[in-house]
Structure 1
């Protein structure tokens, strides 16, 4: 539901203390890596530095039983990155979980959204 310039929704995070194994930002990064074949390009698409994107990939790779992203070093042919089969599965399952949670909670999300004040006229 839209209220002013904001859209109400849910944000899910799978936490493996002390790290967040995957959440919306990391899922978006995985989408970007899948789409671009590059950690740097995926990071740029999200407005983050290469270093930040790499740190997020390292965290995800550390949290799961095997890496989600496989990277090849640059060189004359350039480097690249791709999702592993586990990375593809984790991303798909996370997106399904997001959709299911939003669907299950949509009535309550709409009810809570209706209780928010409208900020579209405020500066």
Structure 2
């Protein structure tokens, strides 16, 4: 069968085995979340009112390597060091943060040169 990887999700995230992503903890436990007949756990999950910043800088917007401006999707690479990739919408880039030091500066891996034409 397929390969299995040890998954370590950063901060307040938990592994969602149905979606194969790190996901926010539900504020209330969902009893049948692990069963194949259960409804999508993400659809019934509510955001916590107290979260932790795992990448970026608190409430600061910017174009430098650590602040984000309209962060969108997040991807956690569980295969190679739990690096975190964040789509930084208003800076038109994807930032990579190393899993062993999420508080460090990000590296632009895609874009970063302004709005594209295609």
Higher-strand-fraction structure: 2
* TM, length-normalised to structure 1: 0.26
Relative contact order, higher structure (CA 8 A, sep 6+): 1
Determine which structure has the larger helix proportion and give its number.
Answer: 1
Q: TM-score, normalised by structure 2?
A: 0.27
